[in-house]
Structure formats: C-alpha cells, structure tokens
Amino acid sequence: MLSSSWELKKHDDGLRRNLFKGLSRILLDIAKVPVPLIGSFVIDDNGFLVLSNRPLSPIITEMEGRQIPVDIPRNMTYSSVDSYVTDTLAIHDSRFTHQPNALTDRTDGAFQAAALTTMRTVAACFFKRELRRGPFVYVLNDLHQSNILVDEDWNISCLIDLEFACSQPIEMLHPPHWFTNRFVDQIDADHFTSVHGEFMAIMEQQERDLYPETPISVFKLL
C-alpha cells in the first residue's frame, strides 16, 4: 500500500513523479469515457454491468446505518446536476431532524445551519450551467493512500476498494486532497497549490501524450 511508504518518501521527486504519472493516466482514461447519468454501476441478474443504482457515497451508508432516512431510492439515477445537488444537501436536513446528537448546542446548530444555507446559495458557482446535463464522469471517491498499491518505484499496480466509485458531475473530478497530508478543512493553500501545480503539469503532459488527437482537454472544462 502506498500508505506504508508515503510518509517516509513523499518528498522524493522521482517517486512522486512516478505516482503522479500513473494516477494521471488512470484519471484520464476514466474521464475520456462519458457516462449518461449520475449513479452507480451494478451487475444485473443477467450478468450485465448497468448504470441503474443511486450514486453511493460514504455518507449515505453512514446515515442509513444510523437509521436516518436518506430518501434516495436504490434504483435512483440523475440526469441533471441540479437534482443531484438538491438531494445531496437534503441528506443533511434529514440528519438534523432524525439524529438526536446532530447538534452539540445552540451555537453549533446555528453554525451548521449557516454552513448548509451557504452551500445551497453558492452551489451554482461550482457547477457550470452548460454542463448540468452532462457529460458525467466516473469518479473514484475513496482514492486514499491505502487503496493504492504500488511497487518500490511507486508505479501504481492496482487500485482496491472501489465500492464508492460512481458517476458524478465532471466538476467533482479532481486530484486527491491528501497530497500535503492535510484534511480538506486544514489544507494550507500555498503548500497545496505548489503540489497541485506539479500534479496538473504532469497530467497535462500525459494527456498530450495519450490523446494528441483530442482538441479540447477534459480538464479544461473544470
């Protein structure tokens, strides 16, 4: 697992370049195949792979495990970004209503309500209107270091634990946040920008090498 050597060797430029190159190729290969709906793939009773399940996420399984209604049926898929975002934010409303310890006190309640209201207000700023009906792309939502298997040179040999991979709006396809070993809400912008720039430069080069005939980059749409 990459996690077994990440902390010790993450500053090695050669190893990091190999990792970024392999990860770029994987993301590019996936992104080049458009998906018609937002949802998850399942194997039906006839053995065919079909896109007919709701876009499964860790928060859905967590809520249902706590008996909190999610109100997204298992056979639900989405043809528009707007409806997907609305239902996703509604999950948090349900948590407020049905989870007894959702709030620690009045101040925490006000803070969470304000955060949820803000997300609804600014959601349109994160999703392009011309892409609200696709194309959608397959996104690896659990791509952390322990789910990436590498050789001694950090060439990727395998990805595991893909149960939360699903098709989502193209704006939700992005590099992993753990490049600087920080949680999303603790990222140092200057440090992350540097590593992110390194990754994106490698990705753009990989795209030119792999798809020289493509006039417009998938990632130029982001």
CATH of the domain at 176: 1.10.510
Please determine, for residue 218, whether its predicted confidence score (pLDDT) is greater than 70.
no
Helix H or strand E encompassing 53: strand 49-53
Alpha carbons within 13 angstroms on the beta-carbon side of residue 48 total: 4
Euclidean distance between CA atoms 177 and 160, whole angstroms: 18
Domain of 109 in residue numbering reads as 40-131
Cα Dmax for the chain? 57
- The domain boundary residue, chosen from 107, 131, 155: 131
Provide the domain count of the chain. 2
Asked if residue 115 and residue 48 are part of one domain, the reply reads yes
In this structure, the strands spanning 156-159 and 148-150 are antiparallel
pLDDT tens track for 177-193: 888 888 877 888 888 89
pLDDT tens track for 92-150: 889 888 887 888 888 988 988 898 899 999 988 888 889 899 889 999 988 889 999 99
CA distances (Å), origin 205, targets 88, 137, 208:
35, 21, 5
Asked if residue 56 and residue 81 are part of one domain, the reply reads yes
User: Is the Cβ–Cβ distance between 179 and 144 less than 8 Å?
Assistant: no
Asked if residue 26 and residue 85 are part of one domain, the reply reads no
Asked if residue 51 and residue 16 are part of one domain, the reply reads no
Confidence band (pLDDT; 50, 70, 90) for 31? confident
Q: Which of 62-76, 77-91, 120-134, 205-219 has the lowest mean pLDDT?
A: 205-219
- Computed over every residue of the chain, the mean pLDDT equals 88
222 Cβ contact list (under 8 Å, min separation 6): 170, 171, 173, 174
Mean pLDDT within 164-183: 88
Asked if residue 26 and residue 57 are part of one domain, the reply reads no
Asked if residue 184 and residue 215 are part of one domain, the reply reads yes
- The domain boundary residue, chosen from 80, 104, 131: 131
Asked if residue 171 and residue 109 are part of one domain, the reply reads no
Percent of the chain at pLDDT exceeding 90: 48
- The domain boundary residue, chosen from 74, 100, 131: 131
Asked if residue 125 and residue 49 are part of one domain, the reply reads yes
pLDDT at 222: 45
In this structure, the strands spanning 49-53 and 136-139 are unpaired
